[in-house]
Amino acid sequence: MKFGVVVFPGSNCDHDVAYALKEKLGQNVVFLWHKEKTIKNCDFIILPGGFSYGDYLRSGAIAQFSPIMQAVEKHANNGGYILGICNGFQILCETKLLPGTLLLNKHQKFICDNVFIKSTNQNIFENKKIYKIPIAHAEGRYYCDDSTLKDLTNKKQIIFKYCTKEGEVNLESNPNGALKNIAGICNEKQNVFGMMPHPERACDENLNNTDGKIILESIVSFCKKKRVSFKQK
């Protein structure tokens, strides 16, 4: 698969995720400047973390209007794969490619820490591992209305929840006040994914944490299988 990492003014995790995909997962990776109007025949688009456009107005609010996003939205609507990490997740919610929104953290402070998350979608993540993944955000509190939450739950679109080291989902393990401890979701077609934690920051043995590599590998593997199944039909 060919991966395209979109670079906005203010992105600061673009090279991190490109390194993880290329050096640790052995994938073909190119950078896509935000002013470009095509995605260069990429199969999988990454919207990386950072502070696109300085987070002016609202995180992701300006980035949604970048020229590249028209091609990204078309790619998603055609069944192409997209992963938004942190600011990328915020952008996906602004464009309505994913439901809900990301609000200011409960205590209205920037949080930079390691947290534990667990998968709630065994279709994508076959193992039941508890992942230790870094977060770094000020607007990471996921919120949606009751109707949307019901759909997310019934259609198994919630892919990650914040939890304790033992896997218990409770208030104490929720770092930002996110609704129902939600740390990541996907769309109904399961081709667009968004998460606040940074898996690309936990992919190198030198950091003594490769949990993020497992997450990225699982998403890539799921998409490859889905792609093959789609072609066979």
Looking at 73, 94, 139, 200, which residue is catalytic? 200
Q: Could you confirm whether 200 is annotated as catalytic?
A: yes
- Cβ-contact 98, 187 below 8 angstroms: yes
Question: What does R_g of the chain's alpha carbons equal in angstroms?
Answer: 16
Looking at 13, 73, 75, 86, which residue is catalytic? 86
Q: Could you confirm whether 168 is annotated as catalytic?
A: no
Cβ-in-10-Å burial (0-12, 13-18, 19+) of 14 comes to: buried
Tell me how far the alpha carbon of residue 56 is from its chain's centroid: 21
- 3-state DSSP assignment of residue 5: strand
In whole angstroms, give the CA distance from residue 115 to residue 101. 21
Q: What is the DSSP string of 105-169?
A: PTTSS-EEEEEEEEES-TTT--S-PEEEEEEEESS-EEE--HHHHHHHHHTT-EEEEEE-TTS--
Looking at 186, 198, 203, 223, which residue is catalytic? 198
The catalytic site residues sit at 86, 198, 200
